[in-house]
Amino acid sequence: MPGVVRQRSRDITVRGELVATGMLVTLCVALGHTREAAAQSAFEQVASSAIAQQKTSVSGALGDSFKLLLIEHGVRIAFQEKTRRQLAGPFWKDYRRSVHVPAHWEDTDSWLVNYIGHPIHGAAAGFIWIDHGPPRKAPLGFGWSYWASRGRAAAFVAAYSFQFEIGPLSEASIGNVGLRPETTGWVDFAVTPGAGFGLIAAEDLLDRYLVEWVEKHAGNRVARATLRMLFNPSRTLANLAQNRAPWHRGDRALSWR
């Protein structure tokens, strides 16, 4: 009988030890999960904070858009005799006389200049803004993040276009466009940011679903570079203003080696 009692006592002790061990293991696992969750939460907070701090470099965008402006005015002076002719005369007086509210929609420029050229140079300014934004690729489609990104670029294009038309370094000051009322119209103020916004989206789509597809099936680098420039003229112009190769893509290098 005493032996049975001692056996039961040992069994109870063993069970107690097993229970205590199980509780200790459970506690350790719970603490481990808690620490892991806390570490994950801290990591997510740091990541979210890092993303939030990735803002557009306004100074960088302004600097490169100024270089774009110099390229465009340089082309105007080089190829437009009427622009060179208007460089003479009192600068500030002629500039003030050139700035006024347009009285009509069209100006004296051709359809090609107004509805192709101006959207291209507007979209180029937009791509400069995008390139100085957070270094992550906005997903294409109808998602909010993509259209919000392109909408901010369109707002920058509107400001750039306003300066290009009547600002201190504009068609009004360099070449005195508007000195004759018929040479200025609402078309440039509206089409450059509006059609420029649409062209940014169109070039994004062409680059992602046409150019990238061809690049996956074509090994000729000259053909690939040509295709990039042909189907993305605005991005090509933006690359030149940022001292890059005209066929540059930040997410896929085109090695010539």
Following DSSP, what letter does each residue of 186-247 receive, concatenated? HHHHHHHHHHHHHHHHHHHHHIIIIIHHHHHH---HHHHHHHHHHH-HHHHHHHHHTTS-TT
Q: Shortest CA distance to 211 belongs to which of 171, 172, 248, 170?
A: 248
Do residues 172 and 165 touch, judged by C-beta distance below 8 A? yes
Residue 249 sits at φ, ψ, to 5 deg, of -135, 125
Degrees to nearest 5, angle at CA 223 with 246 and 234: 30
Quote the CA–CA distance of 69 and 142 in Å, as a whole number: 31
User: pLDDT band for position 219 (50/70/90)?
Assistant: confident
Mean pLDDT of the chain: 82
Q: Which range is least confidently modeled, 43-52, 141-150, 188-197, 221-230? A: 43-52
Q: Where would I find the H helices in the chain?
A: 2-53, 58-79, 81-85, 91-98, 111-112, 118-131, 144-166, 186-206, 212-217, 221-231, 233-241
Amino acid at 87: L
pLDDT digits (tens, 9 = 90+) for 17-44: 443 444 444 444 444 444 444 434 443 4
CA distance to 30, 82, 220, per residue, from 180 (Å): 80, 12, 51
Domain boundaries, the chain: 1-53, 56-241
* pLDDT at residue 37, as a whole number: 42
**Burial class of residue 219 (count of CB atoms within 10 Å of its CB; 0-12, 13-18, 19+):** exposed
In this prediction, residues 186-198 reach a mean pLDDT of 95
Q: Residue 205 pLDDT > 70, yes or no?
A: yes
What's the pTM? 0.76
Do residues 233 and 247 touch, judged by C-beta distance below 8 A? no
Quote the CA–CA distance of 28 and 50 in Å, as a whole number: 32
CA distance to 34, 211, 240, 246, per residue, from 203 (Å): 48, 10, 17, 14
* pLDDT at residue 55, as a whole number: 78
User: pLDDT band for position 4 (50/70/90)?
Assistant: very low
